Structure 1
Amino acid sequence: MSLINTQIKPFKATAYHNGKFVDLSEENFKGTWSVIMFYPADFTFVCPTELEDLASLQAEFDKIGVKLYGASTDTHFSHKAWHDTSDAIKKVNYALIGDPTGTLTRNFGVMIEEEGLALRGTFVIDPSGTIKVMEVHDLGIGRDASELLRKVKAAQYVASHPGEVCPAKWTEGAETLKPSLDLVGKI
C-alpha cells in the first residue's frame, strides 16, 4: 500500500542536530514542508555522499521553507560520533534522527527486517503532515539532492496552484498544465 497522501504516523526519537541531542516527534513535521531521507547506516560508503550532497543544497531548501532530516537505525550517539569524525558529515547541519527501535523506519515502510537497516527512502511531507512524494532505492543506488529539490518545488507548486499539474522535467518558472477535456489526446 502506498503512503502517498497519508499522514505521518506518531513516533518519538532523538536526533543529533547542531551539536545537541534533540527530541523529535511527528509534530516536528507539521507546519512546514519537510524532507526525511532514510539511509542504511552511519560509517558506510554511499550514505555520506548522499548526506553531503543534501547538505550542499540546504540553503536552497531553506529558501523555500523546507526542513531536512536524515534518519537511520543507528543511535543519536553514533550520529554524533560520525559527525565528529567524517569530513563529509561535518557539513551536515540538519537533524540526523536515531531510530534504533526501527519505529520510524517501519512507519515509512523502509525497514529491511532481516538486517535491521533502512532502505534508501526519501519522503516529502507537506505542512499538514501528509506524505506527498516517496521514492525508495535499493542500497547500492545513491540519490541526487538537486532532483529532490526539483520534486519539492513541484509539490509546493501543485499545492499552491489547485487545478495545475507539473509535467515531466518541470522546473521552477516553466509552464504547467491545466488538465481538462480539451487537453485529452493533444499532448
Structure 2
Amino acid sequence: MSVINTEIKPFKASAFKNGEFFELTEADVKGKWAVFFFYPADFTFVCPTELGDVADYYDELQKMGVEVYSVSTDTHFTHKAWHDSSETIGKIKYAMIGDPTMQISRNFEVLREDQGLANRGTFIIDPEGVIQAVEITSEGIGRNAEDMVRKVKAAQYIAAHPGEVCPAKWKEGEATLAPSLDLVGKI
C-alpha cells in the first residue's frame, strides 16, 4: 500500500537536537513542511554521507519553512553518541529521532521486520501532515539532498499554484504545465 496522499500516523518518540533530548509527536510536525529521512543505522557507511549531505542543505530548507527529521531504529542516546563522535554527524542541526520500538518506521512502511532496521526512505510532508512525495532506495544506494530540496520546492509550488504541475527536472523559476485537453499528445 502506498502512503502517498495519506496523513502521517500517530507516534511519540524521543529525539536529539542541538545537544538536547526532547519528545516529539505527529502533532508537533504539523503546521509546516517537513522531511522525514529514514536510514538503517547509526555508525554505518552510507548513512553518514546522506545525513551529512542533508545537513549541508538544512539552512536552505529552514528558509523554505521546512523542518527535517532523520529517523533510525537506534535510540536518541545512540544519536547523541554518534553526533558527539563523528565530524560529519556533528554538523547536523536537525532532529534525530530514535525509533527503537519501530513504530514510526512501520507507520511509514519502511521497516525491514526481519532485521529491525529502516530502509532508506525520504518523505515530504505538507503542513496538514499529508505525505506528498516518497523516495525509497535499497541498502547500498545513497540519496541526493540537492534533488530532495528540488522536490520540496516542487511540492511547495504545486501546493501554492493549484492547477499547475512541475515537469521532469523542474527547477524553481522554470516553466510549469497547466494540464488540459490542449496539451494531450503535444508534449
Q: TM-score, normalised by structure 1?
A: 0.99
Matching residue's letter, 2:3? L
Q: Secondary structure at the match of 2:150?
A: helix
CA deviation map 1:16-75 (0-9, x unaligned): 011000100001210000001000000000000000000001111011100001000000
Q: Secondary structure at the match of 1:57?
A: helix
Root-mean-square deviation (Å):
0.4
Matching residue's letter, 2:95? A
Shift of 1:90: 0.3
Matching residue's letter, 2:127? P
Inter-partner Cα distance in structure 1 for 2:74 and 2:152: 27
Shift of 1:110: 0.3
Partner of 2:172: 172
Q: Does 1:42 align with 2:51?
A: no
Q: Does 1:126 align with 2:109?
A: no
Structure 1 gaps of 5+ residues are none
Inter-partner Cα distance in structure 2 for 1:79 and 1:104: 16
Partner of 2:98: 98
Matching residue's letter, 2:121? G
Matching residue's letter, 1:72? S
Structure 2 gaps of 5+ residues are none
Matching residue's letter, 1:4? I
Number of aligned residues? 187
Partner of 2:151: 151
Q: Does 1:56 align with 2:56?
A: yes
Matching residue's letter, 1:85? S
Alignment of 1:20-35 (within 5 A): 20-35=20-35
Aligned-pair identity in percent equals 64
- List structure 1 runs of 4+ shifted beyond 2 angstroms: none
